[in-house]
């Protein structure tokens, strides 16, 4: 059986009827254009359907519904006309009904076809459906699978009953005005952050009182199935109703889904007793990619859906005089470039383009002469959801002011066509914050035509999307410093990497300068061993040091930012290895020692691969500084000169096998060790936003000799 789409395209207000004096609702005619034959036929056949209001409207307390629930809408060819009503349930919005205008997007029609209803929810659980809070591997709580008899088919079907999450969205009265409310009505959910705040909530002590609006959330992610929230909220005798934004879209519903409840009863109900009922229906899967559990749970992103060829083709759509374009629900909107792209006029042009991208379209606008070429691509992109649903596509990374202007509108994904880009230090720091901040969740992607690869930004560098998981598994980031010249002997470093790769495996990662010489040899060797290799490069092409393009992770600083680049190397790594090298290596050694001296790096052995006593005088100078008390006495004890790779390997394995024992034997004071652990972890979590940072607090017993 061919499965049809059970949900129409967006509908809009076609006409507003004159409101009678003291009438508490607005009567209007809703138009749903270009509705499929299946939906028109299903409604004519009397199959159950609902009108689901726009999510942004429901989240500010606007209830949209049929005016005559028992009367079928009028169908004219492929257009459906529905007599509806709009009601304001939010006491903070006194004149909200006056803001609605003809053409405003209002919601969709949903056919709850009993033939497409999913009877056995357990078959989909943890495959296409993730519900509740994870409390163990493959185990979730906070929901219950219940059964009922479908009134039309008489068959026993499952539905789920879900608990609320322990937080809510509260409106800020002083932020609410006709302008901010109108922006939500016109733009939707993306503007809600301006008028409300998310706050924690104790469900056990909180109650929903009569005539109160509550905006909370449930935890749910969907794959290729629809979920329809029931208007009736448990307990049924509480007379609490879910507002009409009741569709859980395939693929676009992931993690937390907001719910909007209004209490029409007379008695307060404890929030911990409230349950949201959801039924599920099959739908046509628009994706050609396989369904993956983690992507269903966390949400599909642009890089999950498109091939590199399809990504490359998207850039051909950008106009020659455009700053870039906005992709929103399969609609392309060009952003004209101002004469001064850094002036206020450019920001105003961006705002106008953003507003245009949110206009209600009667059908997806395909590009002249290119519709067939992009049809499948647009169909795939239609499943983008949440913060991923709108994309900025450009030829170069936009100025930070442009990023902020786009982000304020709800746009979070930036796709750029640049080969081997370089950045200012401040730009990299802002990308890190925007990528990993809880309330932002941006994604920066760049396509490299030379390598035909798509890279995503994560924890300070660009990597292929599949490498993000490998990056997170690394505990020991070894920074290899050495010369880029051919005169330097890199055999010791190569031997050491070969030895450590066998002992440490995927827990080992390599950080280097992303250039030629030792850096390239270490990177090539890491790829042979399938261990993560990250290059922190700098624009030094004028010095015959072109950056690598074969690293698993790469970030490139602009010319003149040598110290910022070195600081990045220090922040990511926790085990420094110094090979024979030149002036740059000497500087890197001095910075490494200083970083440990001021406790910005976790205390660890500083390995000198020194078969020819190149660093002998450095060691003597460090000893003399400590003897004269110009620096702490423990610093020289961290420096370990090794004549061969075997010595270096044994020193590192002794340390990693039992760090506390190594500190004790090398007379490293415990207070310095603990101070470095706390400070280094804090700095790294703040700078690179890594959830877990290895600061050598626990022995690695499998490495013990």
Q: Which residue has the higher pLDDT, 665 or 406?
A: 665
- pLDDT, position 704: 61
Same domain for 604 and 492: yes
Longest dimension (CA), the chain: 96
Are 362 and 415 contacting, i.e. CB atoms less than 8 angstroms apart?
no
By residue range, what is the domain housing residue 447? 301-458
Helices (H), 323-412: 344-358, 371-381, 400-408
CATH number at residue 11: 2.40.30
Q: What pLDDT digit, counting tens, does each position of 50-107 carry? A: 999 998 899 999 999 999 988 899 999 999 999 999 999 998 988 889 999 999 989 9
Positive or negative, the CA dihedral 317, 312, 471, 561 is negative
Residue whose entry in the numeric block shows the structure tokens 């006593």? 613
Are 5 and 77 contacting, i.e. CB atoms less than 8 angstroms apart?
no
What's the CA gap between 255 and 36, in Å, rounded? 30
Same domain for 574 and 519: yes
The one-character DSSP state at 7 is: B
- pLDDT, position 576: 93
What's the CA gap between 515 and 529, in Å, rounded? 19
The one-character DSSP state at 125 is: B
Closest to 374 in 3D by CA, of 349, 388, 352, 393: 393
Same domain for 121 and 58: no
Same domain for 82 and 39: yes
pLDDT averaged over every residue in the chain:
88
What's the CA gap between 382 and 92, in Å, rounded? 35
Q: What is the mean pLDDT of residues 137-155?
A: 89
- pLDDT, position 327: 85
Q: What is the mean pLDDT of residues 505-528?
A: 85
Per the domain annotation, does 690 fall within a domain? yes
Question: What's the chain's length in residues?
Answer: 705
Q: What tokens does 115 get?
A: 């033939």
- pLDDT, position 26: 93
Q: Is the pLDDT of residue 38 over 70?
A: yes
Q: What is the mean pLDDT of residues 365-372?
A: 51
pTM: 0.84
Q: What tokens does 512 get?
A: 């280097």
Helices (H), 578-701: 583-597, 616-627, 635-638, 645-657, 659-665, 670-688
Q: What tokens does 149 get?
A: 């008899």
Q: What is the DSSP string of 128-185?
A: TEEESEEEETTEEESEEEEEEE-TTT--EEEEEEEEPPSEEEEE-GGG--HHHHHHHH
Closest to 673 in 3D by CA, of 642, 703, 701, 632: 632
Q: What tokens does 414 get?
A: 């930036």
Same domain for 524 and 384: no
Distance of CA 509 to the CA centre of its chain: 24
Q: What is the mean pLDDT of residues 378-395?
A: 80
Query: Which residues are registered as beta bridge partners of 236?
Result: none
What's the CA gap between 32 and 18, in Å, rounded? 21
Total domain count, the chain: 4
- 110-124, 326-340, 362-376: segment of lowest average pLDDT: 362-376
Residue whose entry in the numeric block shows the structure tokens 């910005």? 600
What's the CA gap between 502 and 318, in Å, rounded? 48
The one-character DSSP state at 268 is: -
Percent of the chain with pLDDT over 90: 55
Same domain for 628 and 525: yes
Per the domain annotation, does 84 fall within a domain? yes
527 CB-side CA count, 13 A: 13
Per the domain annotation, does 343 fall within a domain? yes
- pLDDT, position 362: 43
Strands (E) located in 374-507: 390-394, 413-417, 443-448, 453-458, 461-463, 476-481
Q: What is the mean pLDDT of residues 36-43?
A: 93
CA angle 589, 593, 594 (to 5 degrees): 115
Q: What is the mean pLDDT of residues 664-685?
A: 95
Same domain for 628 and 598: yes
Same domain for 277 and 312: no
Closest to 141 in 3D by CA, of 240, 204, 230, 218: 218
Same domain for 610 and 476: yes
Distance of CA 168 to the CA centre of its chain: 21
Q: What pLDDT digit, counting tens, does each position of 446-490 carry? A: 999 988 999 999 999 999 998 999 999 999 999 988 776 666 667
Per the domain annotation, does 335 fall within a domain? yes
- pLDDT, position 369: 46
Are 127 and 28 contacting, i.e. CB atoms less than 8 angstroms apart?
no
Are 165 and 196 contacting, i.e. CB atoms less than 8 angstroms apart?
no
- Cα separations (Å) of 462 from 112, 265, 314, 417, 562? 44, 54, 20, 13, 19
Q: Is the pLDDT of residue 132 over 90?
A: yes
CATH number at residue 248: 2.70.40.10
Per the domain annotation, does 556 fall within a domain? yes
What's the CA gap between 207 and 270, in Å, rounded? 4
Q: What pLDDT digit, counting tens, does each position of 150-195 carry? A: 888 889 999 999 999 999 999 999 988 888 888 888 877 777 878 8
Residue 387 — left, alpha, or beta (φ > 0 → left; ψ -120 to 50 → alpha)? alpha
In this structure, the strands spanning 443-448 and 413-417 are: parallel
Per the domain annotation, does 698 fall within a domain? yes
pLDDT band with cut points at 50, 70 and 90 for residue 363: very low
CATH number at residue 425: 3.40.140
Q: Is the pLDDT of residue 515 over 80?
A: no
What's the CA gap between 226 and 337, in Å, rounded? 40
Which among 286, 312, 338 is the end of a domain? 286
Are 238 and 267 contacting, i.e. CB atoms less than 8 angstroms apart?
yes
Which among 458, 479, 506 is the end of a domain? 458
Per the domain annotation, does 530 fall within a domain? yes
Which of 127-136, 261-270, 323-332, 693-702 has maximum average pLDDT?
A: 261-270
Same domain for 156 and 62: no
Q: What tokens does 98 get?
A: 């006056």
Cβ within 8 Å of residue 191, ≥6 positions away: 56, 180, 183, 184, 409, 410
Same domain for 484 and 419: no
- pLDDT, position 241: 95
Cβ within 8 Å of residue 109, ≥6 positions away: 7, 8, 11, 32, 35, 39, 43, 49, 50, 51, 52, 73, 80, 82
List own/partner pairs for 371-376 with CB under 8 A and 24 or more apart: 373/313, 374/313, 374/317, 376/288
CATH number at residue 472: 3.40.50.450
- Cα separations (Å) of 297 from 21, 249, 285, 574, 677? 49, 13, 17, 32, 34
- 129-143, 348-362, 458-472: segment of lowest average pLDDT: 348-362
Which among 80, 111, 142 is the end of a domain? 111
Q: Is the pLDDT of residue 542 over 80?
A: no
Residue whose entry in the numeric block shows the structure tokens 């010249």? 485
Q: Is the pLDDT of residue 359 over 60?
A: yes
Per the domain annotation, does 179 fall within a domain? no
Q: What tokens does 70 get?
A: 């028992």
What's the CA gap between 57 and 124, in Å, rounded? 31
- pLDDT, position 486: 65
Buried b (16+ CB within 10 A) or exposed e, 147-158: eeeeeeeeeebb
Same domain for 129 and 211: yes
Residue whose entry in the numeric block shows the structure tokens 């068959």? 155
């Amino acid at each position: 059986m061919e499965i049809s789409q059970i949900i129409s395209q967006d509908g809009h207000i076609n006409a507003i009827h004159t409101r009678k004096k003291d009438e508490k609702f607005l009567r209007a005619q809703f138009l749903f254009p270009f509705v499929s034959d299946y939906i028109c036929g299903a409604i004519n056949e009397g199959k159950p359907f609902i009108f689901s209001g726009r999510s942004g409207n429901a989240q500010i307390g606007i209830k949209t519904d049929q005016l005559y629930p028992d009367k079928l809408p009028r169908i004219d060819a492929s257009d459906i006309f529905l007599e509806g009503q709009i009601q304001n349930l939010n006491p903070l919005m006194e004149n909200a009904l006056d803001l609605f205008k003809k053409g405003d997007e209002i919601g969709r029609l949903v056919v709850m076809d009993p033939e497409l209803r999913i009877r056995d929810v357990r078959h989909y659980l943890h495959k296409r459906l993730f519900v509740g809070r994870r409390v163990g591997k493959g185990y979730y709580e906070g929901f219950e699978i219940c059964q009922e008899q479908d009134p039309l088919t008489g068959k026993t079907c499952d539905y789920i009953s879900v608990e609320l999450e322990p937080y809510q969205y509260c409106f800020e009265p002083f932020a609410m005005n006709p302008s901010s409310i109108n922006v939500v009505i016109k733009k939707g959910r993306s503007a809600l952050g301006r008028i409300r705040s998310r706050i924690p909530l104790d469900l056990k002590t909180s109650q929903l009182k009569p005539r109160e609006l509550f905006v909370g959330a449930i935890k749910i992610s969907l794959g290729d199935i629809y979920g329809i929230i029931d208007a009736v909220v448990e307990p049924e005798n509480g007379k609490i109703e879910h507002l009409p934004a009741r569709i859980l879209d395939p693929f676009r519903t992931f993690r937390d889904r907001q719910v909007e409840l209004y209490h029409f009863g007379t008695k307060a109900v404890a929030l911990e007793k409230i349950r949201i009922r959801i039924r599920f229906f099959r739908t046509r899967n628009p994706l050609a990619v396989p369904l993956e559990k983690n992507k269903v749970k966390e949400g599909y992103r642009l890089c999950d859906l498109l091939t590199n060829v399809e990504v490359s083709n998207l850039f051909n759509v950008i106009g020659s005089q455009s700053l870039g374009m906005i992709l929103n629900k399969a609609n392309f909107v060009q952003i004209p470039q101002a004469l001064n792209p850094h002036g206020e006029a450019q920001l105003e042009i961006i705002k106008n383009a953003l507003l245009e991208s949110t206009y209600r379209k009667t059908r997806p606008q395909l590009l002249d002469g290119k519709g067939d070429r992009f049809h499948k691509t647009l169909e795939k992109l239609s499943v983008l959801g949440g913060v991923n649903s709108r994309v900025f596509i450009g030829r170069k990374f936009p100025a930070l002011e442009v990023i902020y202007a786009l982000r304020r509108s709800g746009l979070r994904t930036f796709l750029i066509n640049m080969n081997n880009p370089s950045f200012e230090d401040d730009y990299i720091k802002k990308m890190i914050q925007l990528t990993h901040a809880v309330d932002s969740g941006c994604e920066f992607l760049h396509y490299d035509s030379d390598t035909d690869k798509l890279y995503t930004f994560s924890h300070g560098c660009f990597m292929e999307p599949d490498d993000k998981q490998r990056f997170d598994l690394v505990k020991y980031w070894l920074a290899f410093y050495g010369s880029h010249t051919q005169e330097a002997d890199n055999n010791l470093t190569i031997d050491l990497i070969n030895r450590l790769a066998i002992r440490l495996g995927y827990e080992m990662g390599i950080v280097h300068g992303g250039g030629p010489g030792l850096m390239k040899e270490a990177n090539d060797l890491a790829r042979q061993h399938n261990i993560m290799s990250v290059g922190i490069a700098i624009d030094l092409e004028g010095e015959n040091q072109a950056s690598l393009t074969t690293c698993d992770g790469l970030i490139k600083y602009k010319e003149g930012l040598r110290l910022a680049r070195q600081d990045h190397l220090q922040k990511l790594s926790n085990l420094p290895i110094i090979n024979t090298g030149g002036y740059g290596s000497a500087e890197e050694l001095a910075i490494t020692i200083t970083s440990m001296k001021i406790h910005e790096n976790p205390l660890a052995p500083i390995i000198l691969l020194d078969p020819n006593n190149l660093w002998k005088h450095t060691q003597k100078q460090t000893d003399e500084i400590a003897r004269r008390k110009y620096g702490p006495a423990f610093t020289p004890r961290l420096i370990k000169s090794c004549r061969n790779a075997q010595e270096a390997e044994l020193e590192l394995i002794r340390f990693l096998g039992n760090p506390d024992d190594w500190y004790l034997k090398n007379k490293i004071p415990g207070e310095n060790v603990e101070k470095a652990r706390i400070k280094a972890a804090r700095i790294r979590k703040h700078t690179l936003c890594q959830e877990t940072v290895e600061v050598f607090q626990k022995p690695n017993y499998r490495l013990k000799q």
